[in-house]
Amino acid sequence: MASDPGLIRMLSALSTVCAVLLTLGVVAALDAPVPILVTGALTAMVSTAAVTEPRPCDQALTLAMGVPVALAVMAAGSALAPYRVVADVVFVLLIFAAIYIRRLGARATTLGIFAFQLFFVTQFVGTRVEQLPQLSLAVLVAFTSSALVRFTVLRFPPERTLERLQRAFRLRLALVLDALIDVTEGGPQAPRAERAVDDLRRSTARLHTAAMMIQNRLGTSTPDARTATTIQRRVAEAETAAERLAVLVLRVLWPGADVDTLSPHLTQLRPAGSSIDTRDAATLPVLISELRSLRAAIGPDPLQPTGASPAAVRNRLLGYRSDEQLPGASPAMQDVFRSAGDVAHALSGLHLAADGEASPVHDTPGAPRSRAELTAKDSGVAKGATPKQQGTRVRPTTRTALQVATGSALAIVGGELLSPERWYWAVFTCWVVFISTASTGEILVRGYRRLLGTVAGVVAGLALASLIGNTSWLAFTLAVLSVFGMYYTIAVSYTLMSFFVTTMIGMLYALLHTLTPGVLVVRIEETALGIACGLIAALLVLPVHTRERTDQLLRDALERLRAVLSHSLAQLGGESGGDLLAPARALDSALDSLRLSVQPLITPISPLRSRRRTALSVLGMLETAAFHARSFAATAQLMPAALHIGADPRLMNEARRIDRNLATLISQVAVQGEGGDTTLVRGPGIPAQLAVSEGGARPEDVNATRRVLRHLQRVDESIQGLARTLHLPVHDDS
């Protein structure tokens, strides 16, 4: 459940396999020849995997509309098969149309995939007009099998998927705490300390992925906007609290290290001469025990000592938020215990969102106050903060359609010259390398991953074929398992997906007793040709270079960072900032897109080492700023309305300076460093003395104020560091 949140990949792969098997069973019972069996199986794969809309009613409508599209394309492909040149021209035009109509939404995208894939099937199988009755029957059986599996055998409504995603999020949160316990138990001197921290980083990144998956499902899986807002807030608070707890623990264990985030790009854990405080070392066993208590609040922990009731443990943890029974340790360690209380508070919120009621807590003033905060924050609806997008003269769908059509035309010509019987592999490769890519660099990375997976699949296919010999049932079983592997790995590894595709093809040829090393070598050659044609088209037809794409996404991320700070400061100033976590989630989404776009620069095979270092540094700075901005928003949301620290003139001046610096950064990225004001200003810093009076304020209010200021200070430092990385001057405010 934790490795496959919501079991989405598992159910997708199982649905495809079941639809293929059901189609093959029905068509084989009708004594259909092998070409009809292959057509039915491939159609079942496409009709099951291509429909990705979340609502069952939308899926049913798309499948119903796909039937006439599939039949028309199948008839056209079969009729044009004897006329090679005309069929090739129609294929290119169909490819252009299939990409062009993506601007109309998800259903149009799916129908375009149906059209391309089924025309491809006619060329792959070599169908003829006289076979149309049998082909039409196979298509109808395939779509019916897909619908039967989707809506009956493996029915998974969006509400249940969301419930499984929430459970997976809690399990991944438990894995974060497990990794944090390992880091704390081993300590900074452990031989595997660095590896334990890497495991913690990976667990936190996986937690973030689960949180974003929930975010993307809220609009279609909840009964109303209020419920969606509640779940969004609970998940975001838990993720932020867990990440902050991990950062604070690392800062205690490595007191001299620059640990401001769990980003792996910047953190150095072992500065010379750093050692843990003696008081903190004595408190570590207590901290480990409390971390285990948090872990037990999510699920059973066999190492958790028994004795205290769950309610008493939770009350004790919540008490740390009010400075109750804090250990006699350094301020940094006390912040760790306060953060543990925040995690306990967030866990109560997760129970409240999932079960409709909080876990029972009694005995301390902190418990009912925590529950009251959770209930009070459920009012209102999330409001997104979307920055203005840069306009372009050519729509992305138009550009991609022209590029894919051009690349496919080149692939058809080259593929025919290379192998008149297998030319379609080059066209298919050219099509798929453009899917989910937006720059030439992304196409290059996707292409080399596909080629790598194809070569590995050829080797595996030949090896398996030599082992199974003429055992047809074993070859069929391996082909089915390869289909499952294709769709189970497609979302996590494009190389593995390509490996399973080629292995499946090898097993199919083994079933037909036509598998030879030469056939699979041709597949490698056609794959390489398709990648090359795609790259040529991407470079010559309205090219989008990697730098242009990353600059656009960097502007987007900076604008969303600016929106998060603006909303949060408005909340601190007593204004109604709305839900602060919605713009923070928008920032996370923009940062995820930027991570994908810089893959061509940071991949190990990149020869541009200086650009790789710059890209990693920029990404690290942005991840640091995003973490503190998200924590800043989450903490500001908890601030009592009476504490208007945002109205303080000193803080307002610093906020305006930070906003101007961000505006300067955005403008410089937009013009690529040419012209305009290129100087950022370093001010006196967030005033440390700015805080509520400790005399009449609750301890948690004082701590929250300090935390807000600390996060804002870290955001300011990250922005200045990002400016230096981009070679922009930073001057002191005179």
Band (pLDDT 50/70/90 cuts) for residue 677 is low
- Max mean pLDDT among 247-256, 550-559, 610-619 falls in 550-559
**Residue 54: burial class (beta carbons within 10 Å; 0-12, 13-18, 19+):** middle
More confident call, 641 vs 558? 558
For residue 250, the 8-state DSSP code is H
Tokens for 310?
Answer: 């769950």
Residue 430, pLDDT score: 94
CA 705 to mean position of chain CA atoms = 32
Band (pLDDT 50/70/90 cuts) for residue 640 is low
Q: Is residue 386 over pLDDT 50?
A: no
* Pick from 215-224, 311-320, 375-384, 570-579: least confident: 375-384
Which whole number is the average pLDDT over 486-508? 92
Q: Is residue 526 over pLDDT 60?
A: yes
Which whole number is the average pLDDT over 566-583? 77
Q: Are the beta carbons of 655 and 566 closer than 8 angstroms?
A: no
* Distance (Å, whole) CA 496 – CA 480: 16
What value does the mean pLDDT of the chain take? Answer: 84
* Pick from 541-550, 663-672, 678-687: least confident: 678-687
Share of the chain above pLDDT 70, in %: 86
Tokens for 613?
Answer: 């270092």
Residue 17, pLDDT score: 96
* Distance (Å, whole) CA 520 – CA 106: 35
Tokens for 484?
Answer: 């499952």
Residue 672, pLDDT score: 60
CA 231 to mean position of chain CA atoms = 18
Q: Is the dihedral of CA 647, 652, 658, 664 positive or negative?
A: positive
State pLDDT tens for residues 197-249. Answer: 999 999 999 999 999 999 888 888 888 888 888 888 889 889 999 999 999 99
Closest CA to 524 of 445, 462, 600: 462
Q: Are the beta carbons of 411 and 426 closer than 8 angstroms?
A: yes
* Distance (Å, whole) CA 572 – CA 241: 20
* Distance (Å, whole) CA 114 – CA 680: 52
User: Does the pTM of the predicted model rise above 0.75?
Assistant: yes
Q: Are the beta carbons of 501 and 421 closer than 8 angstroms?
A: no
State pLDDT tens for residues 304-355. Answer: 555 557 778 888 888 888 888 888 888 889 999 999 998 998 988 887 766 5
Tokens for 219?
Answer: 């609009």
Tokens for 161?
Answer: 């998927």
Closest CA to 151 of 58, 45, 29, 37: 58
Band (pLDDT 50/70/90 cuts) for residue 370 is low
CA 651 to each of CA 341, 584, 644, 646: distance values in angstroms, whole numbers, following the listed order: 28, 21, 11, 6
Residue 725, pLDDT score: 87
| Cβ partners under 8 Å of residue 109, min gap 6 | 101, 102
Which whole number is the average pLDDT over 685-696? 56
Tokens for 566?
Answer: 């603006």
Q: Is residue 378 over pLDDT 90?
A: no
| Number of residues in the chain | 734
Closest CA to 301 of 292, 311, 309: 292
More confident call, 463 vs 358? 463
Q: Is residue 684 over pLDDT 80?
A: no
Q: Is residue 483 over pLDDT 90?
A: yes
Band (pLDDT 50/70/90 cuts) for residue 175 is very high
State pLDDT tens for residues 27-49. Answer: 999 999 988 999 999 999 999 99
Tokens for 410?
Answer: 């080149």
Q: Is residue 133 over pLDDT 90?
A: yes
CA angle 601/603/605 to nearest 5° reads 105
Share of the chain above pLDDT 90, in %: 44
Tokens for 347?
Answer: 């866990």
Residue 687, pLDDT score: 61
Q: Are the beta carbons of 138 and 27 closer than 8 angstroms?
A: yes
Which whole number is the average pLDDT over 547-576? 87
* Distance (Å, whole) CA 618 – CA 621: 5
Q: Is residue 376 over pLDDT 60?
A: no
Neighbours of 471 (CB within 10 A): 12
Q: Is the dihedral of CA 665, 668, 673, 678 positive or negative?
A: negative
| Cβ partners under 8 Å of residue 170, min gap 6 | 298, 299, 350, 354
Closest CA to 423 of 408, 435, 433: 408
State pLDDT tens for residues 257-300. Answer: 777 777 766 555 654 445 788 888 899 999 999 999 999 888 76
More confident call, 191 vs 660? 660
Instruction: Phi first, then psi: give them for residue 683, nearest 5 degrees.
Output: -90, -170
* Pick from 118-127, 204-213, 384-393, 423-432: least confident: 384-393
Band (pLDDT 50/70/90 cuts) for residue 700 is low
Q: Which helix (H) or strand (E) segment is 275 a member of?
A: none
Residue 601, pLDDT score: 85
Tokens for 734?
Answer: 């005179």
What residue type is 137 in one-letter code? L
State pLDDT tens for residues 554-567. Answer: 999 999 999 999 88
Beta strands in 276-353 (DSSP E): none
Q: Is residue 577 over pLDDT 70?
A: no
Residue 259, pLDDT score: 78
Residue 512, pLDDT score: 79
| Cβ partners under 8 Å of residue 414, min gap 6 | 426, 529, 533
Residue 674, pLDDT score: 54
State pLDDT tens for residues 89-132. Answer: 999 999 999 999 999 999 999 999 999 999 999 988 888 999 99
Residue 675, pLDDT score: 52
Residue 48, pLDDT score: 94
Residue 307, pLDDT score: 55
**Residue 33: burial class (beta carbons within 10 Å; 0-12, 13-18, 19+):** exposed
Q: Are the beta carbons of 66 and 110 closer than 8 angstroms?
A: yes
Band (pLDDT 50/70/90 cuts) for residue 708 is confident
Neighbours of 223 (CB within 10 A): 8
